[in-house]
Amino acid sequence: MKECRDAIRRREFGKKLASVGGGLALTANAVGAGTRTRKRMKQIKLGFDNYSIRELGWKAPRLLDYAASLQLDSILLSDLFVYADHSERYLKDLKAKADDLGVEIQMGTGGICPSSDRRETAFGSPEEHLRLTLRIAGVLGSTAARCFLGGMDDRKDPGGIQRHIETTVELLRKVRGHALDLGVKIAVENHAGDLQARELVGLIEAAGKDYVGATVDAGNATWTLEDPVRNLEILAPYAVSSGIRDSMVWEDGRGARVQWTAMGEGCVDTEAYAEKFRALCPNVPFQLEIISGIQRSFPYLDSVFWGPYESVRASDFAAFLALAKRGSPLEAFQAPAPPEKGAAIQTYQKTQLEHSIKYCKEELGLGLK
């Protein structure tokens, strides 16, 4: 019965959002109005990852103003290209601006694994890249520095994902002293189908949980055949940052398909997720990384599929199957042809994020403001 009620609520919420139209622009007053009716429970910080609106191309100062206009508590600046430069003066000015606006900065970067093709190469060697990331975090006052190993294809490489875990652990150990001196935890994300929750825990434990933690990504959990709620339960003891979105998962005859969605538009039990997040990660910001509209197939009925996933536990996969059985097919987002394409994608990303913020404030009671 609860699943039925949740589905009805999601459909009703979706209808309300659809009636608003594609040009939604939440003002501080509009977002704040929802706080009068939200659930009175222990609240946690609410924010977003700038990747949610990546096509807008905004730099850090404008992103901070935007977060403040939506009455958010935090922001995850998840790449090193979002800054005008990496000088100490610029970063200190940015920190002062964030403090004045009452927005906590968490920061991060891209791939760091020396053996992965997904590693970021614009900032020197993997070690130089990671040391730069830690320095920026220290100046900005961010206690977490988000990064990731790689992506789904790394599971298919010779040696599988374990080889990449080992090279990442080796890299992390090289910067342990630097991270501890700065008081910054390296927050490795379960990213784009690279690591299951249990594999990420193994990486953190091998490197050292005194300076390495987890960025919990709810959407990416579905790309490793996991139920996001179960993924959270496993990663919560290590969590220092987050990237949250909903997912729709449904059976398709060959296995399942996954489409990431705005909050409340998928089949994840978002109320249960928020409650567990409150209970298990009370000091971690709940930061939305909305990447809606794309689909991916997981043909697990084909035996060939299972090569990169031999480590998957039956109990974890069963939870993913239960998620797929309560989902229903969605249409992928299709942007119009140029010249309208760019503006349409920008509007879509911004609208999906603002819908999600509204849902989190009004339906889940998240945020301090």
Q: What CA–CA distance (Å, rounded) separates 107 from 175?
A: 17
For residue 299, being part of any structural domain is answered with yes
In the chain, the number of structural domains is 1
For residue 31, being part of any structural domain is answered with no
Residue range 69-103, pLDDT digits in tens: 999 999 999 999 999 999 999 999 999 999 999 99
Q: β-strand 295-298 against 256-261: which pairing, if any?
A: antiparallel
List all residues 6 or more positions away from 319 whose beta carbon is below 8 Å from its beta carbon: 226, 227, 229, 230
Q: What CA–CA distance (Å, rounded) separates 255 from 266?
A: 18
Q: In what order do the strands lie in the sheet with 104-111?
A: 239-243, 212-217, 185-189, 144-148, 104-111, 74-77, 46-49, 286-288
Question: Taking all residues of the chain, what is their mean pLDDT, rounded to a whole number?
Answer: 91
Three-state SS at 167: helix
For residue 9, being part of any structural domain is answered with no
> pLDDT per position in the chain (369 positions), as tens?
444 444 444 444 444 444 334 443 333 333 443 433 445 455 899 999 999 999 999 999 999 999 999 999 999 999 999 999 999 999 999 999 999 999 999 999 999 999 999 999 999 999 999 999 999 999 999 999 999 999 999 999 999 999 999 999 999 999 999 999 999 999 999 999 999 999 999 999 999 999 999 999 999 999 999 999 999 999 999 999 999 999 999 999 999 999 999 999 999 999 999 999 999 999 999 999 999 999 999 999 999 999 999 899 999 999 999 999 999 999 999 999 999 999 999 999 999 999 999 999 999 999 999
List all residues 6 or more positions away from 156 whose beta carbon is below 8 Å from its beta carbon: 307, 308
For residue 24, being part of any structural domain is answered with no
Q: What CA–CA distance (Å, rounded) separates 228 from 246?
A: 9
For residue 102, being part of any structural domain is answered with yes
Provide φ and ψ at 228, rounded to 5°.
-55, -35
The encoded tokens of residue 145 equal 């520095």
Q: What CA–CA distance (Å, rounded) separates 123 from 45?
A: 31
Give residue 32's pLDDT. Answer: 41
CA 243, chain centre distance (Å): 2
For residue 30, being part of any structural domain is answered with no
User: Residue length, the chain?
Assistant: 369
Give residue 43's pLDDT. Answer: 86
Burial level of 90, CB count in 10 A (0-12/13-18/19+)?
middle
Three-state SS at 264: coil
Q: Which structural domain, as residue segments, surrounds residue 152?
A: 43-362
Helices (H), 70-215: 88-101, 126-140, 160-174, 176-182, 197-207
Give residue 122's pLDDT. Answer: 97
The encoded tokens of residue 7 equal 């589905």
For residue 123, being part of any structural domain is answered with yes
Number of Cβ within 10 Å of residue 141's Cβ equals 17
For residue 303, being part of any structural domain is answered with yes
Q: Is pTM beyond 0.75 here? A: yes
CATH code of 326's domain: 3.20.20.150
Give residue 42's pLDDT. Answer: 58
Give residue 26's pLDDT. Answer: 39
Residue range 135-174, pLDDT digits in tens: 999 999 999 999 999 999 999 999 999 999 999 999 999 9
- Sole residue written with tokens 């603002």: 354
